[in-house]
Amino acid sequence: MLPQPQCTLVLTFDGSITHCSPGAATVFGFAPPDLIGKNLVALFPEVEGDVTGDLLRARDGEDARSERLARRADGRALWVDLHAMPVVDPAGTATSLLCVAQDATERRRLAAEVLRQTELEHHLLAVVSHDLKNPLSAITLSAAAALNTTNEPKMVRALDRIRHSASRAVRLIHALLDFNVIRQNGALPVRRRACDLKQVVEEQLDEVLVTRPDREVRVEATGDLEGSWDPDGLAQVVDNLVANALQHTTEDVRVTVRLEGRDRDVVLTVEDRGPGIPPDTLKKLFQPFVRGTQSSTTGRSVGLGLFISRAIVQAHGGTVTCTSEHGKGTAFTVVLPREGRRT
C-alpha cells in the first residue's frame, strides 16, 4: 500500500492550531491558512470529547496515539491516525503540542476487506469439509464391508486402495477443520478425562496399521502412564507422529513409540532410524503447510499434522520438540504434565 497523506499541526494546550503544514490541504481539504486559529476538535465533530482526551494526555507528557473519524472541508468523512506529543523547551517544560495526522481510510478499507475475505475462507472451508465427511465415511465403510465378501486378490487390493485413500482424505478433512478452529480461536478445545496413555497409543496404532499392514511399530512403556488428558486429542497426536514416521521411511526402518511415566509428567517419544530431516526444514517443521521432506514413500501430505499436534499438546500445557540427524533418524518428544489428574 502506498504511503497515505499526512500533515503536521502545532497546537496550544487547549487544541487551537497555531501552525500547519501544507499536507493539511490533502488530508482535510483545508488550505493551511484556513486552519490557523481553529480548534482541532472542529475537525472531529463526531468524537470531540475523545480528541480532547488525546490532547490532555499529550499535554501531560504521554505519547498519545488514536484513530478518529474526521470531516473534510467538503463534509466527507475520513478516518485519521492521530499522534500527539508535547513540545518541550531546553528546560524540559512543555510549551505546545505537536500533532501528526495521517489519512487512515484506505488502510481501514483494506483491513475490512482482508477480514471479510478471511471470514469467507473460514466459512467455505468449514462447509466444504463438513459436506465431504459423510460421503467419504460411506466410501470407507462400503469398502470395508466389501472386503468381507471377497477373497479375490485383485478385488482385495482394489478395495484396500479405496479404503486407504478414503481414510487419508478423512484425516485431511479433520486436519483442515482443526486448522480452521486454530485460526479462528487461537487454540483447540481440550476435553479432559482420566485415561491411560499406553491404551490411547495402542488403540491408535491398531487404527494406523490397518492401512499399513506392511509395517510394524514397537511400543516400549515404563512407569505410571495415567493422567487427565483429552484422549481423542492425544490419539490424533499419536496418529500424526506415527503416520509421519511411516510416511517418510521405508519398510526396513523400525519405528518405536516410547512412553515414560515421571513424577509430574509423562513423556511420549516417536523415533525412527530413517534419513533424517534437513536442518533448514527442521527450523520451521511445526509451521502450517511445511512437510518434513520433499519426497515420501507413501504419497503426499498437506503439512498440517505437526502444526495441529503441537496445538493439541500446548493446549494440554505440554511441549513437543524434534531432533534429527542426517542418516541416523528423527525423534519427536512430547511432554505432557499430569495437571488435572484425577486421583
pLDDT interval class at 294 (50, 70, 90): very low
d(CA 105, CA 27): 10
Is the confidence at residue 180, as pLDDT, over 90?
no
Q: Could you read off the pLDDT of 96-143 as tens digits, one per residue?
A: 999 999 999 888 888 888 778 777 666 666 666 667 777 887 888 888
Cell of 175: 486436519
% of the chain surpassing 90 pLDDT: 29
pLDDT interval class at 342 (50, 70, 90): very low
% of the chain surpassing 70 pLDDT: 91
Cell of 124: 467455505
pLDDT of 341 reads: 47
Residues of the chain within CATH 1.10.287 domain(s) are 106-186
Q: Which of 74, 88, 82, 95 is nearest to 40 (CA)?
A: 82
Q: Could you give the 3-state DSSP secondary structure of residue 340?
A: coil
CATH class of 190-343: alpha beta
Q: Could you read off the pLDDT of 213-223 as tens digits, one per residue?
A: 788 899 999 99
128 φ, ψ to 5°? -65, -45
Residues of the chain within CATH 3.30.450.20 domain(s) are 6-103
Residues of the chain within CATH 3.30.565.10 domain(s) are 190-343
C-beta neighbour count of 78 within 10 angstroms: 19
Fold for 106-186, please state it.
Answer: Helix Hairpins (1.10.287)
Q: Which CATH number fits domain 6-103: 1.20.58.100, 3.30.390.10, 3.40.640.10, 3.30.450.20?
A: 3.30.450.20
Is the confidence at residue 2, as pLDDT, over 70?
no
Cβ-count burial 246-268 (b if 16+ within 10 Å, e if not):
bbbbeeebebbbbbbbeeebbbb
d(CA 150, CA 341): 47
